[in-house]
A and B are shown apart, each in its own frame.
Chain A
Amino acid sequence: MSYFSPSCELKRQLNFGCKYYLLRLVCFSICFGGSAICSAVQEEERDVELRERIKPLLEEHCLGCHSGDEPDAGLTLDHFDAPIDFLKARDIWEHAAQKVQIEEMPPPEDNELSKEDRAYLVGWITEVIEEFECGLEPNPGQVTLRRLNAAEYSNTIRDLFGLKSYAPETAFAGDDVGYGFDNIGDVLTLPPLLMEKYFLEAERITTTLIQVPPKEKRFSYSVPGGQLQSKKGGGGDRDLTLSSAGTGVMQVQILKPGPYVLTIQASGDQAGKEPVQIGIELDGKLQRQKIAVPNEEPKDFQTIVRLRAGSRRIGIRFLNDFYDAGGNGRPKQDRNLHIHFVSLEGQKKPPKRLPESQLSSYHKRILFTYPTNEQDRERATRAVLNRMASYAFRRPVEKHDLDRLVGLALGIQDEGDSFEESIQIAIQAILISPKFLFRVEPPRDPNGLGKYRDLDEYELATRLSYFFWSTMPDGELLKLAANNQLREGNNLEQQIARLIKDPRSNEFVRNFAGQWLTLRKLEEFQPDPSAFPKWNEGMGRLARNETMYFFAGVMRRNMSVLNLLDAKFTYLNEDLAKYYGIEGVEGKQFRPVSLKGTNRGGLLTQASVLAVTSNPTRTSPVKRGKWILDNLLAKPPPPAPAGVPELEEREGELTGTLRERLEQHRENPACANCHKLMDPLGFALENFDAVGLYRTKDGALDIDATGELPDGTKVKGVGQLQALLLARHKKDFAECLTEKMMTFALGRGLEYYDKCAVDKIVAALEADNYRFSTLLVGIVRSDPFQKKGERE
């Protein structure tokens, strides 16, 4: 640790040394149960330091500008009264300490801060914000309700229905990125655009996978009353009016014998004691049934008639004509029948099932049982939906949810539609339910005061599968969860090993490593073809694949994570090997290739990383340096001052080689402070051009791959850079990787209280030769992964 934060050396001088830190840990284990006393002692010490030394320093050198109503840079530093306040505002103080350390603050022109005071101030702030009282029960934090992102959704649909592959009909709009990853609960929004796609996909998926029997063609014939044959009576074109006893007849050709529904739309002029009555004639024979038509407005009357095959005559007879001419004070009375419309339809039959041989395996997987008769409908519906909803919700569906689903499906069956159709609709409801689209983890138990609850095992299984597979838990995970055995013995370790071995963990490599190493940006990298003719369109994908295979190899072979920095092997196929000028690799398949005797080894020498940190026309030592600080050491340089272009090298009137121009640029003090951190790291990689090819000359000029660190150490070439990283920054790298992976695993940015968990994992890594499995197990066993805490 030389220039990123105060060195241990410095800390020891200031009595805050690493030893002190260890002592405190020891102290904790001794004071188990009575830690309050221990903490109180240390906190008191800190309070004293704050009061007696830090506050006066801040007042003298900082608060002049950074206080009051209109502080400089909108930053007030005057309301931090206790060490815990510094810790909670960690971002501010990390930033501030950095500015003080690189002597950007206080402004150099009125800089009266002595070297010793500066070191003390930086050391104290760093210590306070770094050391967090882990205590007995640090807050494990809480992730905001996480929507499945695009990759997770697709994978989950694929596995839920047992498909070989699945992609939505049109791609979803990309998910927004926070903390470098696209699976962050806070950042994953659900705009209507996306909801609409979820809905349409649910329809598409269910109607594609579930086969619905063809609707049987029902016999259907209808005729306006006016077109019935009738000897008596008369009507207009539309209605038939029978004013005396008579029959309206229609003739139909019946193919299938059986019951038919006869619907008569009729009304009557009512007179006399009884209502209008009609009877049905079949082939001239009056049936027994009488139908009363007491209404004056048209109304439908239905009756069932059994018909034989052949030409049939169906008549509607007016049964009870009545007429009284009136006179002698009696009004005239006339009873008539109006027939408006007649229709005959075959009866609705429960739809037939498709023969087994026509059903796809996907269909059978969903509809594993059918109702055997009318009374059995509910059982079968419930069984099918219970299984589907439980898989989709990644836990046993709750009874009232299942009841509602079954109700929805039975309602559709009641309308005469098939069992299959009703299941289609119910599954659509499942697929747009928030319990499917979001990973629901109710907050901590409201009754368990002060106790952060363990995730239940279904929640844990879900976290595991989305961490390593970006998809839903499989049968084995769910079974362990159902038996509450996931945490038993070393089951977690065994499951992690199984998950990592499974090809589905390629998704972890793609989604975690691809984003951690910013390789997704390769898609938009278009180097200038005239300057870099060897890079063609396929190169971006090949280069990314190399890194993916490499990361997966180190992980699956359970090697030390430090291999990522300097392994003397990589994974290549023929095309990429040729690109690098490495011989003896044939075929499209990627395979492990030794790099002994080459000038390559580790991530920093892979074309993917080298290209993604370059400009389209040339390398960018600044971007490369920043990339190392951001992604390997978790020491992002402070952002450029507002209005000053970030990252990019101002050229303008500067002249000379890129190096000379950068050096001129660094003469500007506003830029120098950050660039002296970034540029030297990037310079050491100058032997690799913007598309990752090795070079010794840039045009006519020799490459000078030397960078000088702020402490004077010179680093020449990638070999010395790697040596430096391994000698001084092993732990930084382990910490960086742990933090990035935890962010991905938890779906949230890390907070100050996560430091305990990170420290524990890093310590375990150090003690175990940095083995990959230790990292994975460490994250899964950590409190933030296992428990449900709260947002602070």
Chain B
Amino acid sequence: MSNNRIKRRTVLRGLGTAISLPLLESMIPRSVAASAPEAPLRVAFLYVPNGMHMPDWTPQKIGANYDVPATLKPIEHLKSEINVLTNLTLDGARAHGDGGGDHARSAAAFLTGAHPKKTNGADILNGISVDQVIAQQVGDETRFASLELGLEGSSQSGSCDSGYSCAYSSNLAWRNSTSPLAKEMDPTAVFDRLFASGDKKEDAQAKGARKHRRKSVLDFALQDAQSLHRDLGAADRRKLDEYLYALRDIEKRLVMSEKLDVGNYERPAGVPKDIGDHARVMLDMMTLSLQTDSTRVASFMFANEGSNRSHPDLGAPESHHQLSHHGKSAEKQAKIAKINKYYVEHLAYFLDSLSAIQEGESSLLDNCLVLYGSGISDGDRHNHDDLPILMAGKGGGRVRPGRHIEYKRQTPLCNLYLWMMNQFGVRADSFGDSDGTVKV
């Protein structure tokens, strides 16, 4: 530990947790700061569960001169960096004859636009998610094709929502229609994956030898799987295909590339107990990964869909899900709005971090597309049109932010996704249930 290292967590604690502290430029590893002649486009998707108290979310006026509604107050100072997008719709989350289970469907459909198959386990079927489409396009250029983060693991007992496997309600990213990508919730683990820890000093020769060995171990496993493949039935093969994909994916990191050294961000010490601390350190991890160009595609779940997290500190000791069924009770709606605002405070923290990082003439936020929202609109009605969605960042000059845009009613959210993937060079003319594209 060098003495001049900035102990960021300590600084945070000193300032009190309510104050957001952007990452200082001095914390950036020099090699990264110096490079980046033309900053790449990056994208992040952030998900909050159980819908929103919409009257406090949707601005009254259209265009640039809107009054910032209560829920969005924490990001008021970033108004010029944000577009609030009204009337986007997630048709895949609707029942379509499958009955209850809106929460599971909402998370599953949020980035896929698909209508997930109702099953408790056998034959899980959803669609590929927009982040993974983009990751396939640009993932080869970074060490991680994409990064999936969250504050809750997926392990729960019982059924998660009316006959839907928990895989649906706890994953946003789907590599294909059958393989969700589990998210990491331990900041230490993320840090270790992203960055070299200082204590393992190896000379070049030892490093070379280690890579060589890793390669032979991976090759060995690859052969194992291939020979096993021949002996198994179709469903088993699907599992083995996941294995093979995972092997090839990690080879890139374990054998072919070097971890970055970010000596001046202290390695996080496990999962913080306080949910706010946990959120901030995980969002830091996301910022660091985008900043260092370790990945260009990230997704983040503040909670699994249908979350029962209670927020006694906000004066809402009931569970979030329970409250979201407010039955028009003003008291419950007020509590919901508080929870909504609480999450937006964390969004503000994240966006402030991004905008404090300079990339040449612009900021990291300028080169990002950050989508934030939920797959449910009103938690009591479980409706999936008029979703609470906003997008921050200029997308490297591709977006004209600072407005409240009202689309035609029932405009597929996938229209926005189609536009986003096109910005990354994906040549597609449709995605999910898109029926065109939108302007932002």
Contacts and interface: CB of A to CB of B under 8 A. Distances in A.
B216 A145 contact: no
Interface string B138-166: 00000000001000011111111011011
A177 B166 contact: yes
A176 B180 contact: yes
B314 interface: no
B99 A176 contact: no
Interface in B293-326: 308-310, 312, 317-319, 321-322, 325
Given A177-B156, A435-B228, A411 B240 contact: no
A352 B240 CA distance: 41
A643 B379 CA distance: 10
B317 A528 contact: yes
Given A643-B95, A643-B102, A187 B236 contact: no
Contacts of A639: 99-101, 162-163
B381 to A, nearest CB: 7
Interface stretch (A11-19, A645-653, A677-685): A645-653
Interface string A424-443: 01001100111101101011
A192 B310 contact: no
A617 B331 CA distance: 14
B319 A432 contact: no
Given A189-B182, A615-B318, A651-B329, A176 B167 contact: yes
Given A173-B185, A191-B179, A615-B318, A650 B254 contact: no
Contacts of A150: 155
A437 B243 contact: yes
A650 B214 CA distance: 58
B30 interface: no
Interface string A138-149: 000010110100
B60 interface: no
Contact of B325 (A145, A442, A650): A650
A185 interface: yes
Interface string A643-685: 1111011111110000000000000000000000000000000
A641 B100 contact: yes
A135 interface: no
B98 A192 contact: no
B166 A173 contact: no
A199 B248 CA distance: 12
Contacts of B96: 74
Q: How large is the interface on B (under 10, 10 to 19, 20 to 34, 35 or more residues)?
A: 35 or more
B242 interface: yes
A179 B228 contact: no
Contacts of B155: 150, 174-177, 182, 520
Nearest to A74: B97
A195 B102 contact: no
Contacts of A737: none
B166 to A, nearest CB: 4
Contacts, number: 277
Contact of B318 (A74, A174, A528): A528
B409 interface: no
Interface stretch (B74-82, B187-195, B424-432): B187-195
A411 B184 contact: no
Nearest to A433: B224
A438 B242 CA distance: 12
A646 B153 CA distance: 24
B186 A171 contact: yes
Interface in A500-542: 514-516, 518-521, 524-531
A142 B233 contact: yes
Q: How large is the interface on A (under 10, 10 to 19, 20 to 34, 35 or more residues)?
A: 35 or more
B120 interface: yes
A41 interface: no
Interface string A387-410: 000000000000001001100100
Most central of B163, B183, B189, B383 by chain A CB within 10 Å:
B189
A195 B175 CA distance: 15
A412 interface: yes
A178 B99 CA distance: 18
Nearest to B331: A651
Nearest to B233: A443
Contacts of A147: 239
A428 B220 CA distance: 10
Contacts of B318: 528, 615-617
Nearest to B247: A195
B42 interface: no
A432 B236 CA distance: 17
Contacts of A191: 175, 179-182, 242, 246
A469 to B, nearest CB: 19
B19 interface: no
A378 interface: no
Contact of B317 (A178, A194, A530): A530
B235 interface: yes
B15 interface: no
Nearest to B319: A616
Contacts of A640: 99-100, 162
Chain A: interface secondary structure?
loop
A570 B190 CA distance: 43
Nearest to B160: A177
B250 interface: yes
Contacts of A412: 213
A175 B157 CA distance: 10
Contact of B245 (A192, A433, A615): A192
B38 interface: no
Given A174-B154, A432-B217, A196 B322 contact: no
A144 B235 contact: yes
Interface in A184-207: 184-197, 199, 202
B192 A179 contact: no
Interface string B178-222: 011111111011001100000000000000000001101110110
Nearest to A422: B213
B346 interface: no
Most central of B102, B123, B155, B159 by chain A CB within 10 Å:
B155
B271 to A, nearest CB: 8
A528 B317 CA distance: 5
B232 interface: yes
A73 interface: yes
A173 B100 contact: no
B310 A526 contact: yes
Interface string A164-183: 00000011011111111110
B182 A145 contact: no
A749 interface: yes
B122 interface: yes
Contacts of B334: none
Given A193-B148, A195-B249, A75 B236 contact: no
B239 A185 contact: yes
Nearest to B192: A170
B388 to A, nearest CB: 18
A174 B182 contact: yes
A638 interface: yes
A91 to B, nearest CB: 9
30 contacts: A144-B239, A171-B189, A173-B154, A173-B183, A176-B165, A177-B158, A177-B159, A177-B167, A178-B167, A186-B122, A186-B235, A189-B167, A191-B180, A192-B249, A194-B182, A199-B214, A199-B254, A404-B220, A408-B216, A433-B221, A434-B221, A440-B232, A443-B233, A519-B157, A521-B158, A639-B99, A639-B163, A643-B95, A648-B321, A650-B325
Interface of A: 71-75, 142, 144-145, 147, 150, 170-171, 173-182, 184-197, 199, 202, 401, 404-405, 408, 411-412, 425, 428-429, 432-435, 437-438, 440, 442-443, 514-516, 518-521, 524-531, 615-617, 630-631, 638-646, 648-654, 748-749, 791
Interface of B: 94-102, 119-124, 148, 153-160, 162-163, 165-167, 170-171, 175, 179-186, 188-189, 192-193, 213-214, 216-218, 220-221, 223-225, 228, 231-233, 235-236, 238-240, 242-243, 245-247, 249-250, 253-254, 308-310, 312, 317-319, 321-322, 325, 327-329, 332, 380-383
